[in-house]
Structure 1
Amino acid sequence: MAVAWALVATPALAVDPFALRDIRVEGLQRADAGTVFGALPFRIGDVYNDEKAAAALRALFATGLFKDVRIEVEGDVVVVIVEERPLIAAVEFTGLKEFDKDALLKSLRDVGIGEGRPFDRALADRAEQELKRQYLTRSLYGAEVITTITPVERNRVNVSFNVVEGEVAQIGEIRILGSKAFSEKELLKQIESTTGGWLTWYTKTDRYSRVKLNADLEALRAYYLNRGYLEFNVDSTQVAITPDKQRISITINVSEGQPYTVTSVRLEGDFLGRDEEFKQRVTIKPGAPYRAEDVAETNRRFGELYGNFGYAFARIEPRTEVDRASGRVAVVIAGQPSQRVYVRRVNVAGNERTRDEVIRREFRQFESSWYDGRKIKLSRDRIDRLGYFSQVEVDTAEVPGAPDQVDLTAKVTEKATGNIQLGAGFSSAEKITFTFGIRQDNIFGTGNYLGLELNTGKFNRTIVLSTVDPYFTADGVSRAIDLYFRTQRPVNSQGESYRFVTQGGAVRFGVPFTELDTVFFGIGAERTTIESGLLLPNSFLLFREQFGETSASLPLTLGWQRDGRDSALVPTSGRYQRFNAEWGIALDTRYIRSNYQFQQWVPFGKLYTLGLNAEFGYGKGLGGKPFPVFKNFFGGGLGSVRGFDQGSLGPIDVTGAYTGGTRRLNLNSEFYVPVPGSGNDRTLRIFGWVDAGNVWAEDESIEFSSLRAAAGLGLSWISPVGPLKVSLGVPIRKFPQDRIQRFQFQIGTAF
């Protein structure tokens, strides 16, 4: 480039210095003259010389706007002659299948190719190599890219990339050599990469990438280090590809070393005079094989404990004292708290739609307060439980020049908070039934909820409009408003046309008592009409004779909720409890209606999860008045006992109608396992389920001998529109009058 500058600058060099009277620019088409004048190191009236000319050439070429620049001298006037580089008018692709066009355009902009940017052949070559690199990450080693440059008017060009993607190179063989303590089959289970299988079209685990191979090597290392093999080492890896670039072979050579047993754990350093408290957090067990996971967990717990007392940058360094002759190791953990710090500022980053205040109000660590690791973790968990973000991290950064201060930054990655809920089932009674709901959990980024629920069943139809303000007050008291219209027609083999229609509304408030517990209370007003029809069930007829065709009620509501699950979407551990009661205090009805739900999630290793759900409902009339028949509990179908028709469990009137009852019991269990070939992908799992339950009338005793039960298999998938469950079941305990519904699916609900 320096030679080029010298050649083009020859007319302007070897001149005697002179006072510059004028500057002219020639050759501009699109660029602004101010851009050229701004890059020149001289002005009118300055003394012009060869050094300034060379500096001007360097500055103009550095703008990237010109492919040729010359400086000529005419007396005491300098003439700058430029030839502009063409601009890119459009970037096009042909032959794309594996990638989305927008994703590739973004990657090309990072190397300088994009609409409206100056074109350079060297940049086009870099763009071509970038496209090939992108295809290599998808195991498309045979991909070819041909670049075509087409000039268009006004010194512009169209850049077109013709892509021939070819076939995906699949991993045909994976070998792990050198292992003695564990079989090759067992070690292959520890890595993500696999050879081709029936589900690899979805998991893509048979595609090779260097990043994935490095992760697999770390997984092997972790497997050995957690079984006492301190000196395990990956000696080499060989990756070979066939000439047709369609099949890849991977060979991993390892050295195991010998296993070590922990003899003792010793603490050294400053533990704030709380040595016993730190020792209680040690998970390393003397007498057991050395486990790197236990050492890492102990370090994490020590760091949390230091952080709870304000020491954000405590240094914790474990080391091992190895005795190779006996195969034993002593673990020494050295700790130094460093300096205690306080939080200067709390920042929020990554939120484009959600308002800052929605995130900040979940923080329990305040500015200008001592750093507290417990409060910071709690803040992160509360932000995560909002459900608005796919990823939440809280970073801690030192304040330059202030060793006793830190800044916290809550980094969030937003996800779509709109949700569509769908459910369907098929039965001989209702044929195909659908439920539909649409909601926005974070409407306009305010953190408020707005939802619409619609049920189109033959026997039960519902429309509900709900809104929730989680911070109706600054102290975190929530307010919810519901407006609803329901029509219900009890399941009946005769197909009668009678039904009852309920319309009303309610407002309720939620008061947080602890970080996990919330108490709800509210009041509502509703009116229910029992519309006449053929063979009206006796219980409905008696109620209508006592209170008339239309009855009104004014219910008070009281509830409690505790959510300790690790995730609301895909829980693997933790407990969830919910209780709500409805008390009819005025107008035509007097009653109490309550419901309690309990969920427990139990992990079995990293792959398997057991989910248990129990729900009990109870209702009773008060003040000598009967329990309103339109408040009865129903059982069977989605959300109750799968395998049975929706709402078909419980008492049956002499007319053949399923009228529901005042007491209900549901027991559900689901055991989740990964889909074979999907690794530990929790977005797609198979589950086996067993449900039991029933509904009883007020004059019936609750007997377990009357429980209905069903079992089956299902598929769970976290789809783009919400959690999808497909289940197929058969009754394992039924009675002659029961209606069976073997196939069901639902989107957006659990259990």
Structure 2
Amino acid sequence: MNQQISRFRLRSVAAVLTSALAATAAWAIEPFTVRDIRIEGLQRVEPGTVFASIPLRVGETYTDDRGSAAIRALFDLGLFKDVRIDVNGNVVVVIVEERPTIADVDFVGAKEFDKEALKKALREVGLTDGRPFDKALADRAEQELKRQYISRSLYNAEVVTTVTPIERNRVNLTFTVTEGAPARIRDIRIVGANAFSESTLLGLFDQDTGGWLSWYTKSNQYSRTKLNADLETLKQYYITRGYMEFRVDSTQVAISPNRQDLSITVNIHEGPKYVVSGVRLDGNYLGRDDEFKSLITIKPGEAYNGEQVTETTKAFNDYFASFGYAFARVQAKPEIDRENNRVALVLQADPSRRVYVRRINVSGNNKTRDEVIRREFRQFEASWYDGDRIKLSRERVDRLGYFTEVNVDTQEVPGSPDQVDLTYNVVEKPTGSLQLGAGFSSSDKISLNFGITQENVFGSGNYLGLNVNTSKYYRTISLTTTDPYFTQDGISRTISVFHQTTRPYYSTDGDYSLVAEGGSIRFGVPFSEVDTVFFGAGIERYKFKPGDVPDYSLLALVNPALATYYRDLYGKSIPQAYLNYFQCGFQYGAGGYATSLDCNRDSVWGVPLTIGWARDDRDSALVPTKGRVQRANLEFGVGGDFSYGKTSYQFQQYIPLSKQYTLALNAELGYAKAFGGKDYPIFKNFYAGGLGSIRGFEQNSLGPRDTVTTAALGGTKKAVFNIELSTPFPGAGNDRTLRLYTFLDAGNVFADRRDGQTDEQWKAQQRIRASFGLGISWISPLGPLRIAYAVPIRQQKEVPDPNNPLVPLVPADRTQRVQFQIGTAF
């Protein structure tokens, strides 16, 4: 026989490939030189992909081993459901059957998880449009989705995967979910607790059996992650109180037959309570033993406190790192005296080797430019590793406000034991906001407001803000831009321009208005890592428009007395302080009736110069629990019609009383004075009252009042004090986004005694106002919302004027029991 035709066929699947190859050994053929290679069965896969994958070329010798290797290589691509090789003479024929391609992935009935987030997760593992369908991958995705539902306490959740073939060897993949109702925690038991009551220990848990707000907090929905966190909290509670051998022996979670209720039992071993008998150092402390001893927070004679031990070892590691020892090891080894329940701690240190930073990488900044992050670094490349500078760099990047997470990873450089690379991993968050609003009132009719801000314009780190308000009584447009690195040294520059028209305070019939316009520039100079000093200058112009005097000449022909009364009433509708400052008076025409109200200076302008200082070391800007804020500002009016000085100072202190309770203190002081014999500009006065100041009184209503219109005029002195206790909201557990707070406010705004004031009026102006009350704070999707119910406990009652019953000698304070606000902490 001149030519022997042999057919060699191998069928295989990944799990039994080796067995299949062994079974075909009986059909082995003699090696031959490949004259040609053909591929059959391709639909979407490019032939070049197959040729590049198989270890066989034309002109090479074909063997059984090479055939087996070619089949394995093609299966490894994951593109084919079946592969076989036929040999026809000297021609190798590769026959493939492609896997179907996924045309669409959809989720039906999934409400607990965002559908787009689920699709994104499948896309990352290869289950997405246009990719080959892998049944094993789909099965794993189904099981993982079930596990995710169990982690959300949805034990009755069912997931069914449906594969629907369609034309052109494609399939639609559908995950149909029946979620069911979540399982609720029916009871939690702690077995083995003797030193503390079970109710005290359960109060530490974020998970509980639920309350009337469980629909919001979901605290009664079991989560293994939350339970582990609660157990860690329980452990910390014990080891900070001397129980250093405390342990959790076991945790049982029992589910009811209907899979709707859960019972959790935690078995603990408390152990004896130990007192620290002493602390000593052991190991290499770089000859700085006294410096390290000063970092010890462990207190002999007191109960063992695990937090103090952790703080001490961390402080030691950080101090070693400040000298370049990135891999220093510090261990606190206890020497236990069980007979007397005492423990001596030995702090053993091994500084290891000193290293320097070879390279610093930034990861995760898809929008923010590298330079915006790198300019915050205080640790530099090719410098000795400095733990303090690395920590400070992370904090400075975090304080930018552009990221939800900032983490630092340290990697050793292979082959270079004295080098490390740092990677700052960031997770970006949206930094822009768009605000659109509309309001309706009988006075304003329809008013619109619009605001757009971007804290990180085009990833440059610059701030841009535009605000517009069309209210009849407060029309404004302002534009502000900030470049935080106007210079390479970190000096910031802020430019603002504004134009606003207001009808301030409490006008009645008068149609007066105050138009303010101007601009300013301010520079912020960092004098240290935590202190910034601001310098600024601006130019401002204020124009007073008293409005038109109504024509009462026709009325005067009929009733001269009534015309005079209405003319005087118009004049009295404008606060006398405005008339005095702008030197306004009536012009009279024929018959002795006013025809206009003219002002000698209908507008004033000046140049305010400002200098300020700020320091903020709170642990959070939205929900602070500890830390301090201090702000001081000094403003001088120079040039033009201004000659004044104005200073203010604010101090806030947050004191954590426990995990659940926070005490906050606030004080604001202000003082202003005119210079050079000029009048102090009334529009620069301080104001008080309302949320953010003294609750229970109308916004900006406290202080000196106009004797006729009773309009609040503000004052040149201000003192406001607040005490606030933040507590868990009933039924919300330890959720910090929804809190209840009680408060006590006191203070007022003061001014110099005016000519003509009676003793009673002067005393009323100087009295301190105070209030107390209850409020709710909620970090809502719209921003921080605060509602307060306040009861004034020290307020001014109305004092009638015996000579004029229509106008009180001293008007009563304007109170407001319920107040609502988005924003400030006090």
Q: TM-score range by the shorter chain?
A: over 0.9
User: Which residues of 2 match residues 513-662 of structure 1 at below 5 A?
Assistant: 513-533=527-547, 534-535=570-571, 536-545=574-583, 548-656=601-709, 657-662=711-716
Matches for 1:264-279 after TM superposition, within 5 Å: 264-279=278-293
Q: Could you tell me which residue of structure 1 aligns to residue 417 of structure 2? A: 403
Aligned to 1:501: 515
* CA distances 1:610-648 after superposition (whole Å, capped 9, x unpaired): 222222222222211111222222222243322222222
Aligned to 2:70: 56
Supply the distance in 1 between the matched residues of 2:106 and 2:440 (Cα, whole angstroms): 48
User: RMSD in angstroms over aligned alpha carbons?
Assistant: 2.7
Farther-moved stretch of structure 1 (327-336 vs 628-637): 628-637
**Residue 221 of structure 1: SS of its match in structure 2?**
helix
Give SS of 2:536's match: strand
User: 2:817 matched to which residue of 1?
Assistant: 742
Alignment of 1:387-402 (within 5 A): 387-402=401-416
Q: 1:598 to 1:211 in 2, by over 3 A?
A: closer
Instruction: Say which SS state the counterpart of residue 303 (structure 1) adopts.
Output: helix
Change (3 A) 1:606 1:721: same
Q: Distance in 2 between matches of 1:450 and 1:229?
A: 54
Instruction: Measure the CA separation in 2 of the matches of 1:308 and 1:432.
Output: 61
Partner-residue secondary structure (3-state), 2:639: strand
Seen in structure 2, the aligned counterparts of structure 1 residues 637 and 225 have a Cα distance that, compared at 3 Å, is: closer
How is 1:18-37 mapped onto 2 (pairs within 5 angstroms)? 18-37=32-51
Q: In structure 2, what is the Cα distance between the partners aligned to 1:14 and 1:733?
A: 104
Given the superposition, is the C-alpha separation of residues 314 and 158 from structure 1 closer, same or farther in structure 2, using an over 3 Å criterion? same
Q: Name the CA distance, whole Å, in 1 between partners of 2:405 and 2:376.
A: 15
Structure-2 separation of matches of 1:68 and 1:532 = 91
SS in structure 2 at match of 1:219: helix
Q: Quote the Cα distance in structure 2 between the aligned partners of 1:429 and 1:708.
A: 30
Aligned to 1:664: 718
Report the CA distance shift for 1:567/1:233 in structure 2 as closer, same or farther (over 3 A): closer
Alignment of 1:226-375 (within 5 A): 226-375=240-389
The answer for the alignment partner of 2:206 in structure 1 is: 192
Separation (CA, whole Å) in 2 of partners of 1:104 and 1:466: 40
**Shift, 1:270, TM fit:** 1.3
Structure-2 change in CA distance of 1:435 and 1:702 (3 Å)? farther
Cα distance in 2 for residues equivalent to 1:166 and 1:87: 32
**Alpha-carbon distance in structure 2 between the residues aligned to 1:367 and 1:272:** 25
1:723 maps to 2:784 = yes
Tell me what 2:454 maps to.
440
User: Does the CA contact (< 8 Å) of 1:430 and 1:457 recur in 2?
Assistant: yes
Query: CA, structure 1 residues 154+520, in 2 after alignment: closer, same or farther (shift >3 Å)?
Result: same
Kept after mapping to 2: 8 A contact 1:425/1:743:
no
User: Could you say which structure has the greater relative contact order, defined with CA pairs below 8 angstroms and 6 or more residues apart?
Assistant: 1
Write the distance in 2 (CA, Å) between the matches of 1:578 and 1:33.
71
Determine if the alignment matches structure 1 residue 694 to structure 2 residue 708.
no
User: Which amino acid is the alignment partner of residue 631 of structure 2?
Assistant: R
Partner SS for 2:581: helix
- Residue deviations 1:434-473, cap 9 Å, x none? 9875422222111111123455666544432111111101
Q: Which amino acid aligns with 2:521?
A: V
Kept in 1: contact 2:192–2:268 (CA 8 A): yes
TM superposition shift of 1:582: 2.3
Question: What is the percent sequence identity of the aligned residues?
Answer: 60
Tell me: CA distance 1:573–1:223, structure 2 relative to 1, closer, same or farther (3 Å).
closer
Structure 2 vs 1, CA of residues 4 and 295 (structure 1 numbering), >3 Å: closer, same or farther?
A: closer
Cα–Cα, structure 1 residues 457 and 279, in superposed 2: closer, same or farther, change >3 Å?
A: farther
Conserved 8 A contact 2:456-2:462: yes
> Contact 2:210/2:731 (CA < 8 Å) preserved in 1?
no
Moved more, 86-95 or 119-128: 119-128
| Deviation for aligned residue 1:669 | 2.7
CA radius of gyration, larger in: 2
Confirm or deny: 8 A CA contact 1:427 1:741 kept in the other structure: no
Structure 1 letter corresponding to 2:823 = G
SS in 1 for 2:715: coil
Question: Matched residues in 1 for 2:763 and 2:638: separation?
Answer: 27
Distance 1:481 1:666 in 2: 30
* Letter of the structure 1 residue corresponding to residue 820 of structure 2: F
Q: Deviations over 1:585-627 (max 9, x none)?
A: 1122322222222222222122222222222222222211111
The CA deviation string for residues 680-732 of structure 1, in whole angstroms up to 9 with x for no partner, is 33222221222223222333689995122222222222233332222222222
Provide the C-alpha distance between the structure 2 equivalents of 1:25 and 1:266, rounded to a whole number of angstroms. Answer: 77
- Contact 2:750–2:766 (8 Å) recurs in 1: no
2:31 paired residue among 2, 7, 17: 17
For residues 164 and 397 of structure 1, the distance between their equivalents in structure 2, rounded to whole angstroms, comes to 45
CA distances 1:61-99 after superposition (whole Å, capped 9, x unpaired): 111111111211111111111111101111111111111
Using a 3 Å threshold, how does the CA distance of structure 1 residues 582 and 319 change in structure 2: closer, same or farther?
Answer: same
| Cα offsets for 1:364-418 (capped at 9, x unmatched) | 2222222222222222222222222222222333222222222222222222222
Could you tell me which residue of structure 2 aligns to residue 676 of structure 1? 730
Deviations 1:225-264 (A, max 9, x none): 2222233232222221111111111112222222222111
Q: CA deviation at 1:432?
A: 12
Q: Which of residues 766, 774, 791 is equivalent to 1:713?
A: 774
Quick one: distance in 1 between partners of 2:689 and 2:445? 15
Matched to 2:819, the amino acid is Q
5 Å-filtered alignment, 1:130-169, equals 130-169=144-183
- Could you list the per-position Cα deviations for residues 524-543 of structure 1 after superposition, in whole angstroms to 9, with x for gaps in the alignment? 11211101143332221122
Q: Distance in 2 between matches of 1:689 and 1:108?
A: 50
Structure-2-length-normalised TM-score: 0.86
Is the contact made by 1:426 and 1:744 (CA closer than 8 Å) also made in structure 2? Answer: no
Work out the CA distance in 2 between the residues paired with 1:233 and 1:559.
53
- Contact 1:421-1:722 within 8 A present in 2 as well: no
State the distance in 2 between where 1:627 and 1:427 align: 34
Q: Is the 8 A contact 2:748 2:769 kept in 1?
A: yes
Partner of 1:173: 187
> Which residue number corresponds to residue 113 of structure 1?
127
Superposed counterparts of 1:435-474, under 5 Å: 437-454=451-468, 459-474=473-488
> CA separation of 1:421/1:36 partners in 2, compared to 1, >3 Å: closer, same or farther?
closer
Match of 1:146, SS? strand
| 1:490/1:659 contact within 8 Å kept | no
Q: Give the match's secondary structure for 1:643.
A: coil
| Distance of 1:428 and 1:742 partners within structure 2 | 23
Q: CA deviation at 1:426?
A: 12
What is the one-letter code of the residue matched to 1:684? L
Determine the C-alpha separation between the residues in 1 that align with 2:76 and 2:353: 48
Relative to structure 1, the CA distance from residue 461 to residue 375 in structure 2 (aligned partners, 3 Å threshold; closer, same or farther) is same
Q: Which amino acid aligns with 1:154?
A: R
- 1:424 and 1:730 map into 2 onto residues whose CA distance is 31
Cα separation, partners in 2 of 1:588 and 1:287, compared to 1, 3 Å: closer
Contact 2:363 2:425 in 1 (8 A): yes
Q: In terms of mean alpha carbon deviation, does 93-102 or 650-659 score higher? A: 650-659
Gaps of 5+ in 1: none
Change (3 A) 1:432 1:640: farther
Distance in 2, Cα, partners of 1:708 & 1:679: 35
Secondary structure, in 3 states, of the residue corresponding to 1:223?
Answer: helix
Helix, strand or coil: the match of 1:644? coil
Query: Matches of 1:59 and 1:577 in 2, distance apart?
Result: 67
The alpha-carbon distance between structure 1 residues 729 and 29, as it changes in their structure 2 partners (threshold 3 A), is same
Aligned partners of 2:523, 2:484: CA distance in 1, in Å?
9
Q: 2:794 aligns to what? A: 733
CA contact (8 A) 1:11 1:71 kept: no
Q: Secondary structure at the match of 2:94?
A: strand
TM-score by length of 1: 0.94
